[in-house]
Structure 1
């Protein structure tokens, strides 16, 4: 099931944006998927109906496209659709996403302000919470191409129990239970408030492709190809 909702529910003139299923799923069909559907509505009342969630009840994977993450919240928070997303995970399915589709998977919703993605912590209470597929996390993206390496620092300062995960482009984490492995060409920044940093270090460290990280113990369990052991005060930064 492909969810394009982050791309927008209405255009600048306020008109409802119409999505065509063939266009939304085209790239996935080219990859060889044979049973793929689009799921989209801008109306939470529709998202709360049995008819709308029917494709999710037999789905084994959900993908959230990029855009603005608050659009996803506006459509699906506190609805049957939200619960069915979690049910996909509960029965062993997979949930993934890119850009806003990655951020929505965290607990705290970074860049959730309607005013724009430059606002790291929204003043809007209804846009503070993500969908919590990765519990106790705050997830940022595009950290390499948009120089966002430090942007999670104030979030973790305000919410020190959260684990901050900053994703570079062309880079992903593949999560199994409490662990994830880094895949891709760039780095993942880990903002961990339980770790002691030296005065000259920034309060995060980076993981590379092949590194395996335990989010529960907050420890690197395996270093990937080419990764070096961390210095005493922390790795990378």
Structure 2
């Protein structure tokens, strides 16, 4: 009897460990927010997007990090321009830009974290702000700059740890692209849709390719070409002023515009279908869980 009890106890402990390993392995303890880009103003993200980011990261008093590395220059509505430097010497207006970002996001303080050096990105000192952060936002620009600088470094690891400990990682345009496992336009300075050797992203979303500015930039058919070459992928196209918020194995559409899903199947006369704000989608089954009345219509 005693031996049976011991075996049952060991089996229970093994099950608990397996569940813990599974939760850790799926990398989905926190929240992701992928925005379609279109500007650097509160309104450009779409209704409720930044509010969700701040609230889920712990509120305005939490620690926030902003990574501008994808960009060559960011301009706020106020006219303030910040140009991420090519060296580790901070731009002269870094503190001013941090204050302006904090005001735009509606938080007490925003810390800019930027480098173009892989050695710096792999250093303990550089990642200190990430270890305190409840929320990280990655700017738009070129996803190739993010990949070239951060892939395989301590910085990438610590960004993922923010997520794994229940924080929020958000990104707009290139910052959304890099969240997938497959990167489009991964070569810095070149608008090549699929660039061999430059296709790996951070992989928060496995077997997923993200394409922003979808309707505004008339990119609706681009992910069709990507899935022709990589049919194992799920494509998510996000228009400007739209976003998806990912929790566990599901995402919900936020904002004021649409999101397109590409699953290598024909849907009427298209190879994708539309989701309106409020729609909920399962990444596990690749099926719509909650739809809105007008979803599926042409933009």
Decide: shared fold, TM above 0.5.
Answer: yes
Selected match of 2:273 from 178, 200, 205: 205
Equivalent in the alignment of 2:67: 3
Contact 1:21 1:37 in 2 (8 A): no
Equivalent in the alignment of 2:181: 107
Equivalent in the alignment of 1:51: 125
Shift of 1:161: 1.1
Summarize the Cα distance change of 1:227–1:8 in structure 2 as closer, same or farther, 3 Å threshold. same
> Is 1:77 aligned to 2:148, yes or no?
no
Encode CA deviations 1:191-225: one digit per residue, 9 max, x unaligned. 012x4x26x5211111001100111111111123x
Encode CA deviations 1:30-67: one digit per residue, 9 max, x unaligned. 14311421111110001111111111111111100111
Shift of 1:93: 0.7
Q: Higher RCO, 1 or 2 (CA under 8 Å, sep at least 6)?
A: 2
Distance 1:23 1:206 in 2: 40
Shift of 1:236: 4.3
> Is 1:98 aligned to 2:172, yes or no?
yes
Encode CA deviations 1:161-203: one digit per residue, 9 max, x unaligned. 111000100000011111111112211110012x4x26x5211
Distance 2:98 2:71 in 1: 14
Structure with max Cα Rg: 2
Equivalent in the alignment of 2:54: none
Superposed CA RMSD: 1.9
Equivalent in the alignment of 1:41: 115
> Is 1:120 aligned to 2:193, yes or no?
yes
Contact 2:250 2:282 in 1 (8 A): yes
Secondary structure, counterpart of 2:181 in structure 1: coil
Secondary structure, counterpart of 1:135 in structure 2: strand
Summarize the Cα distance change of 1:72–1:153 in structure 2 as closer, same or farther, 3 Å threshold. same
Pick which of 31-40 and 136-145 moved more.
Answer: 31-40
Contact 1:4 1:24 in 2 (8 A): no
Secondary structure, counterpart of 2:95 in structure 1: helix
Identify the structure with the greater helix proportion: 2
Any residues of structure 2 matched to 1:169-184 within 5 Å, and which? 169-184=240-255
Encode CA deviations 1:136-168: one digit per residue, 9 max, x unaligned. 100001111110000001111111111100010
Distance 1:137 1:111 in 2: 14
Secondary structure, counterpart of 1:53 in structure 2: helix
Secondary structure, counterpart of 1:6 in structure 2: coil
